[in-house]
Chain A
Amino acid sequence: MSISQPAFNESPVTQPELIINDFSITVATVNGSGSQTSNLTILRALFKMGIPVSGKNLFPSNIQGLPTWYTIRVSKDGYLARREEQEIMVAMNPATFIQDLANVSPGGVFIYPDDITFKIERTDIHTYTMPVKRLVKESEAPSNLRDYIANMVYVGVLSNLLNVDLDKIYSALDFHFKAKTKPIELNFGVVKAAYDWAATNLVKADRFQVAPMNETNDCIMADGNTAAALGAIYGGVQFAAWYPITPATSLAESLNEYLPKLRRDPETEKNTFVVLQAEDELAAIGMAIGAGWSGLRSMTSTSGPGLSLMTEYAGLAYFSEVPVVVWDVQRVGPSTGLPTRTAQGDITFTYFMGHGDTQMIMLLPCSVNECFEFGWKAFDIAERLQTPIFVLSDLDLGMNQWMSNPFTYPDQPMDRGKILWEEDLNKLEKRWGRYQDVDGDGIPYRTVPGNKHPLAPYFTRGTGHDENARYSEDSETWRKLLDRLALKFQTARNYVPKPVVEKMEGARVAIISYGSTEPAIVEARQKLIQQGLKTDFLRLRAVPFTQEVDDFVKDYDRIYVIEMNRDGQMHKLLCMAYPEQTTRLISIAYTDGLPMTARNIGEMILAKEEN
């Protein structure tokens, strides 16, 4: 992948030639105004034109009436991270008008409804007004829909100014409205009218344009939560309990949407799944653990505050060795914090979740494809290791639309782990005991309710227990049990996803990161080459760290651990795991609620390099 501009500050103002497929569009609206349909329509149309795009919704925690921004990055080079620069601004919200105006990059474009009367003094940008009210009136839309379709006006005007293919706009609307002719025609009518109006009334003076490419032909467009739900469905999820919380809600709702399509027996019309909305997160995880204990592929999904409530049960599941999958779609802060903003702030909390000694296993997806992949793999790992598996996504990954490769069917059969049914018990020579470490890997064998073999039943408890699941307060028994759980955590290194490592010839500096910061880091590394800094890159995909991480951390002069939190949480875990490397592991932790940008990362690394 190559990159056109060398510096972090791109200033396109003086050059006359066109800028094609390489800019950002931001739409400022109020939330609850239906602008999401318009924004997704533009995003999808560009995607269908074969141009790499990404879209991010920067929205408030509110149902209606507060400012919200949607930003679309168009990138011929395929960069998907957020950028600071905003070349094209559509200012639909009078309340943020002045701020939005100030934020347009020099040389950029500012489009707004003609009923906002404000004298614009900036001369370094191009401005266009749109007769939004008039066009809406002329559309003859029913009055209750007028506010919604008003947003279609900017879709039409932008399409004209940027040269977006109207056929693609049509197919985006067709997809959005699930081929329902009436709303499609109504919305498209407004788009077309606005397009035609712009064609006759606007004189294009700016340099921004899109042009068809061939870069997205084989791609899909999806959000991480949908991908996670689909992954879970292909992983055979049988039980999911949840409690609504942004930004995790759409994960469970996607289960509700796709499970009946994919997992209802066509002959009997019976379900092979249960999705249950619990009364709170304590109950959600309790149910999920009950189901996991009884032999179901079981999960729950939540975000930070819900995770806090799940702690006591997570500790019990760790200690009583129950498989369960917990998706944590991270958001900002404790309590409500910034519930609609993104972060990677639950790393240390999750790792230590529970009292006494606990070590939790975490999977760290960075993309929609990995959300799908870990969606099914998490069950294999949970059942293999008989322990809770936490999958840490975040709001940016979970809720925004990402172009990505199509989902690929699981490449391995399910691993149901060490589970014994009646016939297995019949074949055993030695008497089975629930917590015996027969194989020396710390993982015992289990039976589940419904197994009618007389030797199958056992009693599961949070109290101290011996190898045969009997109550015990014996000190030695307790110590041995904790040691076996620690051994099991070591065994987990063989089952969790390995990191992804990318090297450059001669790099002495490296980056470690995880999760949704990946696109920004990929871009930052390219830009850093132009600044004379070569970097190798290891992207963690799980905790515990595997052999590849052991080897990687020894290899460099400096390793920057980049993450979206204040305290450098993964950096801390790495320092704990590799105490002898702590002087080389340097934390770059930054969190402001927004997805990281390449510029930001590059600047932070260069600042440290200069020290």
Chain B
Amino acid sequence: MDVQTANGPRSQVNLIGLSRADYRGNPTTLCQGCGHNSISNQIISAAYEVNLEPESVVKFSGIGCSSKSPTYFLNRSFGFNGLHGRMPSLATGALFGDHTLKGLAVSGDGDTASIGMGQFKHAIRRNLRLVYIVENNGVYGLTKGQFSATAEMGLRLKNQGTNPYMPIDIALEALVGNATFVARSFAGDPKQVKELIKAALSHGGISVLDIISPCVTFNNQDSAMHSYTWGKEHEVALHELSFVPPAEEIMIEYGEGEAKEVTMHDGSTVILKKLGKDYDPTNRSEALRVLEEANAQQVLLTGLIYINTEQPSLREIYNITETPLNRLSQERIRPSRESMEMVNGLMF
């Protein structure tokens, strides 16, 4: 849509009258070519395209290069850059302040799969309304190149030697932990990243996006499983994803059996166009199987791996007021003077 703005030339705006610039953040200070930057850009595009109100989003992150990125997008949103590995708890508490808000979190593989594994798994089982993006590069970027827990066995890194351990698979962990939305993607596949973020923003509970996001400075050798080259050569997409917002009509027609539709919490639709084999992302055991198979075959399996729109979200479990808790007046949160006598009566 083109509109004439009062103070300038015509600029592109979306349905709520915001331009792409309204979704931007500060200029990035990450390395040029870092996968994390490409994900930040897709967050901006996704938010713009789904007409997201920036003020309705709260950003969270832990510590790491990845966790720095919330300052590189959505400057018009509140944000809290917490502690290393402890972002999920921060988001859990903060999202109770105003339950109409959506959480958008960025973490790294160190932040999530090492120091933060406990909070990651517990946030998942509580199903809070949070888009949880793990920018997974198999390495600790910010502390200059140590192995992370997602690094493949046998990976060789400068000054670090050879990694002797088996890796942690974040998507698999999320799935085993009962996440209600699990996706894997690749920073080198921006279109898929963007559509997955849109879908995640429409999800009512937690959505875990394990996005392989190469660290060009410390872990981008062609043979490394978190590099651009390896990803490009080994990516196998489960389906081609497109996201249709609630109000819009589905324009493309698919033939019988050609595509699957998933209706999201907010009424939007995710269309999964078949590529190769049939895949049903609502089937949990099938999801576990394909992840195992991908690990065995050493392919980078991407797409919407699992979705469950039935599970109640954290907010529903707590049965809180329609008015956001942080807007309740004193009268509503301090019991009446009369009740004091009743309480004293209970104290024997």
* Residues of A bordering B, CB below 8 Å: 44, 47, 172, 175, 220-222, 226, 230, 233-239, 241, 258, 262-263, 265, 268-274, 276, 278-280, 282-298, 312-313, 316, 320, 406-410, 413-414, 416, 447-452, 454, 456-463, 471
Contacts and interface: CB of A to CB of B under 8 A. Distances in A.
A450 B320 contact: no
Interface hub of A283, A295, A406, A450 (most chain B Cβ within 10 A): A450
Nearest to A226: B347
B327 interface: yes
Given A294-B93, A298-B93, A274 B320 contact: yes
Contact of B93 (A175, A222, A288): A288
B270 to A, nearest CB: 27
Nearest to B121: A279
Given A279-B119, A448-B326, A290 B81 contact: no
Interface in B9-63: 54-55, 58-59
Interface hub of B98, B327, B334, B344 (most chain A Cβ within 10 A): B334
The 8 closest A-B pairs by CB, nearest first: A294-B97, A286-B89, A290-B93, A450-B98, A295-B326, A290-B94, A236-B333, A287-B93
A463 B86 contact: no
Given A286-B82, A286-B119, A233 B335 contact: yes
B324 A290 contact: no
B159 to A, nearest CB: 26
17 contacts: A221-B347, A235-B334, A273-B320, A282-B86, A283-B88, A283-B89, A286-B82, A291-B93, A406-B340, A449-B58, A449-B97, A449-B101, A450-B327, A457-B75, A459-B79, A460-B78, A460-B81
Contact of A450 (B79, B100, B318, B343): B100
A221 B347 CA distance: 5
B348 A279 contact: no
Interface string B74-116: 0111111111001011111111111011000000000000000
Contacts of A457: 54-55, 75-79
Nearest to A454: B76
A44 B348 contact: yes
B71 A238 contact: no
A285 B89 CA distance: 8
A273 B101 CA distance: 17
Nearest to A40: B348
Given A220-B348, A294-B98, A457-B77, A272 B343 contact: no
A413 B55 CA distance: 30
Contacts of B321: 265, 268, 270-272
Contacts of A233: 335
A296 B326 contact: yes
A175 B97 contact: no
Contacts of A451: 55
A204 to B, nearest CB: 29
A230 B319 CA distance: 21
Contacts of A268: 321-322
Contacts of A235: 334
Interface in B231-271: none
A269 B93 CA distance: 22
Given A220-B348, A239-B93, A241-B93, 14 more contacts: A234-B340, A265-B321, A268-B321, A271-B318, A283-B86, A287-B89, A291-B94, A293-B93, A294-B326, A298-B93, A410-B334, A448-B326, A454-B55, A460-B81
B158 interface: no
A114 to B, nearest CB: 33
Contact of B328 (A234, A272, A278): A272
A262 B335 contact: yes
A419 B20 CA distance: 30
Nearest to A298: B93
A128 to B, nearest CB: 29
A270 B99 CA distance: 14
Given A236-B333, A272-B325, A414-B330, A279 B81 contact: no
Contacts of A265: 321, 332
B274 interface: no
Interface string B301-344: 00000000000000000111110111110101111010110011
A271 B319 contact: yes
B273 interface: no
B122 interface: yes
A220 B344 contact: yes
Given A235-B334, A296-B96, A450-B327, A407 B318 contact: no
B118 A279 contact: yes
Contact of B97 (A296, A312, A406): A296
A276 B94 CA distance: 13
